[in-house]
Amino acid sequence: MTTSPNPAFDVKTLRTTVLEMAYAGSTVHIGCAFSIIELLAVLYRNHLRYPGNDPQASDRDYLVLSKGHGVMAQYACMRELGWLPDEAFTRYFSDGSDLKGLSDSRIPGLEVTSGSLGHGFSVGVGIAMGAKLSGTDQRTFALVGDGELNEGPIWEGALFAAHNKLKNFMVIVDENGFQAMGRTDEVLNLGSIQAKFESFGFETATVDGHDERAIDDAIARLNASASSAPKALVARTIKGKGVPFMEGDNIWHYTRLNPETYEKALAAVAGGVQ
Amino acid sequence: MRDAFSDALVRLATVDPKVLLLTGDHGYALFDKFRKSCPKQYINAGIAEQNMIGMAAGLARAGFRPIVYGLSAFVPVRVLEQIKLDIAHDQLPVILIGDGAGFVYAQLGTSHQSTEDIACARSIPHLSVYSPADRFELTACMDRAYKAHAPVYIRMGKSDRGDVHADNLPGGINGLLELKRGEARDIAFIATGSLVRTALDIACERYPRASVWSAPVIKPIDVSQVVDICRHSSVIAVLEEHSVLGGLGSVIAEIASEFAPTRVLRIGVRDRFSQHCGSYAYLLKEHGLDRPGIEKRLEDYLSAN
């Protein structure tokens, strides 16, 4: 299997793209896009295989964005791959445009229609089961939010994936510690996510979700494992990462940029203020 | 009908190795033949219907042809959102089987009785809804669903009410099937599933001038055919073991009122849950869907209108 061209997926560029489109469309969900930037950058740069750079190649790997609320981060990566025109970003949320605020599987490159949480995990398990039955080496990655783990089907699918030894399936949990109404430990305490997946029979690891090298190493190590268990990578992240005034402030789940906060955010990303 | 279902499963899976049967831990003896004939194409997804539907979507995306089996109280009703978002949205070729529709699980109570599934399913874009009346219609529905390469919900109700056709339907199913020719300006019975046999019996014995139609395909319905029936009939009586809200009666009434105003009597479950425990026959009677109940409703309606 040949791999796709290899854009840089520079995280500053990706965050800038998210800000540009969020400002153009006057949209929300910036915080949940920023927490998965490094995860997506590493996946697209080093792990996902799209033969011929074709987002619909039948022998591609699958990235299922189950937490559809972070879709702007994925759009930003798809722009790097040349799958989306610049106009899609400048016209984001305009009447008659294609890209929505939550992922829509009719856009090549997006595998599921998400936003209603807990769906993509199961679809990903099904895709992985299909690859196993077909005997291909395709991998499926399902990116879920920690808040999304409230949903029951996640755990139904986890049982199935472990029971059927879907070693080609990896769930990556964006553990940013927040869900819509507050901190996850205040809304519905998840306890140790890694221990939960471990107890379901997954091979697990936890990383700093903003350390690209650590993410890369963890994914490579899990993929290389001889174990037949499905994999779970828990990524500790910061909601709003990259813009100090957004970091850890759940209001950026809902807040729109104004000219002042837009400029301030752009400058923060460009300056790499951490 | 259940033997025909088992045979159709084995036949389709034998011809096409991409056919997979998924069950939510239901169908104990029903799948013996399938499991023996096609063991690698059988997946028991456990008592986890939501995940099962999502996985079926994933398997379809990976090139497989999933046939998902559940009780109709669960598939499609419990998992309606997964069907909508994961399957129907992208027109994935998944066949959904909802068994035990209506009052099949009479003694088990509300959780297993299913009289709202047609209404739920037919409002989802791209999702077809079939409701066979006997083994011949079931076989034709399975073939049509497989060939459609698109999402289909097949409702399987009480399966031992007797054949309504004499033989296989070599031409398949296209639209409503005329079981008894009637005379112009008389009653037309349009029924689906378990009540087709009842409609035929009532018409043959009580209304010899009436026509009787079976509707194994509820969506997409052949609108011009329904309009034609409306124009040639004085009154339409629709029979279904399903709520009068959103089922076949609604389909016919919607078309009649828009294109060919005709009186449409919807005979079905009248927006209520079953009250008592009892046999299938008992529950039909409780809901006025046994033969005397239907006949009385029809007589009352005809005499009052």
Whether pLDDT at A212 is above 80: yes
- What is the DSSP code string of B235-255? EEEEEEEEESSSSHHHHHHHH
Which of A107, A129, A144, A154 is the mutation pick for testing B, counting most B CBs within 10 A? A129
pLDDT surpassing 60 at residue A173:
yes
> Is B45 at the interface with chain A, CB within 8 A?
yes
Q: Which residues of A touch B89 (CB under 8 A)?
A: 105-106, 113
Distance from CA of A113 to the nearest CA of B (A): 6
Strands (DSSP E) along chain A, which ranges? Answer: 62-65, 140-145, 169-175, 178-179, 182-183, 203-208, 231-236
Q: Tell me the chain A residues in contact with residue B20 when contact means C-beta distances shorter than 8 Å.
A: 133
3-state secondary structure A157-215: HHHHHHHCCCCCEEEEEEECCEECCEEHHHHCCCCCHHHHHHHCCCEEEEEECCCHHHH
- Per domain, the residue ranges of chain B are 2-155, 177-304
Token pair 């969900």 in the structure block, residue = A29
Q: Which residues sit opposite A191 in a β-bridge? A: none
- For chain B, what is the radius of gyration of the CA atoms? 19
Nearest CA in chain A to B57: A123
Q: pLDDT band for A249, please (50, 70, 90 cuts).
A: confident
Residue from the list A119, A126, A159 with its beta carbon closest to the beta carbon of B59: A126
Report which DSSP code applies to A219.
H
ipTM of the complex: 0.93
Long-range contacts of A220-227, Cβ-Cβ distance < 8 Å, separation of 24 or more: A220/A46, A220/A47, A222/A170, A223/A47, A223/A139, A223/A170, A225/A167, A227/A167, A227/A203
pLDDT tens, chain B, 305 aa long: 999 999 999 999 999 999 999 999 998 899 999 999 999 999 999 999 999 999 999 999 999 999 999 999 999 999 999 999 999 999 999 999 999 999 999 999 999 999 999 999 999 999 999 999 999 999 999 999 999 999 999 999 998 899 999 999 988 999 999 999 999 999 999 999 999 999 999 999 999 999 999 999 999 999 999 999 999 999 999 999 999 999 999 999 999 999 999 999 999 999 999 999 999 999 999 999 999 999 999 999 999 97
Residue A7's pLDDT is what? 81
Q: Is the pLDDT of residue A273 over 60?
A: no
Q: Give the separation between CA A2 and CA A60, rounded to whole angstroms.
A: 10
Q: How is domain B2-155 classified at the CATH fold level?
A: Rossmann fold (3.40.50)
Question: Chain B neighbours among A 152-181 (CB < 8 Å)?
Answer: 152-153, 156-157, 159-160, 163
For residues B2 and B33, the answer to whether their CB atoms sit within 8 Å is no
* Length of chain A as a residue count: 274
Nearest-CA distance A62 → chain B (Å)? 10
Taking only residues 103 to 132 of chain A, the set having a beta carbon closer than 8 angstroms to any beta carbon of chain B reads 105-106, 111-113, 116, 118-131
pLDDT of amino acid B14: 98
Rounded to the nearest integer, the mean pLDDT of chain A is: 94
For residue B63, the distance in angstroms to the closest alpha carbon of chain A comes to: 8
B85 contacts A116? CB cut-off 8 A: yes
Rounded alpha-carbon distances, angstroms, from residue A22 to A67, A254, B95, B252: 17, 12, 39, 47
Q: Which of B43, B46, B56 minimises the CB distance to A159?
A: B46
CATH class for the domain made up of B177-304 = alpha beta
Q: Does B245 touch chain A (CB under 8 A)?
A: no
Cβ of B55 within 8 Å of Cβ of A118? The answer is: no
Which pLDDT value is given to residue A6?
Answer: 64
Q: Largest Cα–Cα distance of chain A, in whole Å? A: 53
**B62·A130 Cβ contact <8 A:** yes
Contacts of residue B82 in chain A, CB cutoff 8 Å? 119, 122, 153
State the best of A138, A139, A156, A165 to mutate against chain B, taking most chain B CBs within 10 Å.
A156
Nearest chain B alpha carbon to A160: B45
Quick check: do B2-155 and B177-304 share a fold? yes
Mutate to test the interface with B, among A63, A107, A133 (most CBs of B within 10 A): A133
Q: Is the pTM of this model over 0.80?
A: yes
Of A177, A272, A185, A187, which Cα lies nearest the Cα of A234? A177
For the stretch A86-131, pLDDT in tens is 999 999 999 999 999 999 999 999 999 998 999 999 999 999 999 9
List CB contacts (< 8 A) between A121 and chain B: 54
B62: nearest CB among A118, A127, A159: A127
Q: Sorting pLDDT into bands at 50, 70 and 90, what band is A72?
A: very high
**Across A227-243, average pLDDT:** 97
A3 pLDDT band, cuts 50/70/90, is very low
Contact B79, A184 (CB under 8 A): no
The verdict on B17 touching A (C-beta cutoff 8 Å) is: no
Does the distance separating the beta carbons of B58 and A124 come in below 8 Å?
Answer: yes
- Domains defined for chain A, CATH in brackets: 11-271 (3.40.50.970)
Q: For an interface test with A, which of B20, B22, B51, B80 has the most A Cβ atoms less than 10 Å from its Cβ?
A: B51
